[in-house]
């Protein structure tokens, strides 16, 4: 009951402009994003966290819908991120039934973007609210600002080029609160000790951090096996 009252207040406060069009836009965008069932991508990853100095990582990123993810690093451990490591857009767009609010238009970098607020109707969803900046012409999410129950607020900026038909970005920048975000151990343990990571993380509460991923090439919807996402040996680490 309290949730429904809160949603009603949000609706009245936000005053949606074209509710019908906003719903159609969101569901069309989500359908396009979900059309990618799996991909394999060569990536470069730069992690910028105040208390850690981590060289640029290179590797292969495997994804299978809805939430299987594996980073196979070149010359290091493979990392199996937990669900709260939001490296893919699909994890930041609410699933199931939602309420969509049209927030009108804004201009960023000279480009006109439609802004949607999306509230999941499922009380069990980890996502509380997602704000999405949409390129209507190409049906792409250019930015998401997602508030979650367990992981704080995650902002994702996306740049597109070669894989627009699949809504797959060439570059992604993820901004998050370090205090709410657990960095996979395998991304840091090659450079500093686990105790040092934990002590510096505690001392840096409230600090912002970012992950920048450049996708060099994709292989899309090839039917990846679930076996790819299983631990195989000592050189691979689940986080």
Tell me the average pLDDT across 4-16. 45
CATH 3.30.1490 is held by the domain 2-216: no
In this predicted structure, the answer to whether residue 124 has a pLDDT above a threshold of 50 is yes
pLDDT tens digits, 170-217: 999 988 776 655 555 555 444 445 555 555 555 555 567 888 999 999
Residue 220: partners with Cβ closer than 8 Å, 6 or more residues away: 36, 38, 39, 163, 166, 168
What is the pTM assigned to this prediction?
A: 0.79
Domains of the chain, residue spans: 2-216
User: Does residue 55 contact residue 121 with C-beta atoms inside 8 Å?
Assistant: no
Q: Where does the pLDDT of residue 81 fall: very low under 50, low under 70, confident under 90, or very high at 90 and above?
A: low
Give the torsion sign (CA, 9, 10, 14, 15). negative
Q: How far is CA 130 from CA 110, 125, 159, in A?
A: 23, 12, 19
């Amino acid at each position: 009951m309290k949730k429904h009252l809160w949603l009603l207040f949000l609706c009245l406060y936000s005053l949606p402009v074209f509710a019908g069009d906003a719903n159609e836009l969101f569901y069309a965008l989500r359908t396009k994003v979900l059309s990618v069932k799996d991909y394999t991508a060569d990536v470069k990853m730069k992690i910028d966290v105040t208390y850690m100095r981590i060289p640029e990582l290179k590797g292969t990123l495997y994804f299978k819908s809805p939430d299987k993810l594996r980073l196979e690093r070149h010359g290091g451990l493979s990392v199996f991120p937990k669900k709260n490591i939001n490296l893919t857009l699909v994890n930041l767009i609410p699933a199931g039934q939602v309420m969509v609010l049209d927030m009108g238009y804004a201009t960023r970098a000279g480009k006109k973007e439609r802004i949607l607020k999306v509230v999941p109707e499922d009380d069990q969803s980890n996502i509380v609210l997602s704000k999405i900046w949409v390129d209507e012409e190409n049906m792409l999410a250019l930015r998401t600002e997602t508030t979650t129950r367990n992981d704080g607020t995650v902002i994702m900026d996306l740049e597109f080029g070669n894989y627009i038909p699949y809504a797959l970005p060439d570059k992604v920048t993820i901004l998050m609160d370090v205090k709410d975000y657990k960095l996979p151990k395998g991304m840091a343990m090659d450079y500093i000790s686990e105790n040092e990571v934990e002590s510096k993380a505690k001392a840096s509460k409230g600090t912002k951090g970012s992950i920048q991923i450049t996708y060099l090439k994709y292989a899309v919807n090839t039917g990846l096996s679930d076996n790819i996402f299983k631990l195989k040996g000592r050189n691979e680490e689940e986080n």
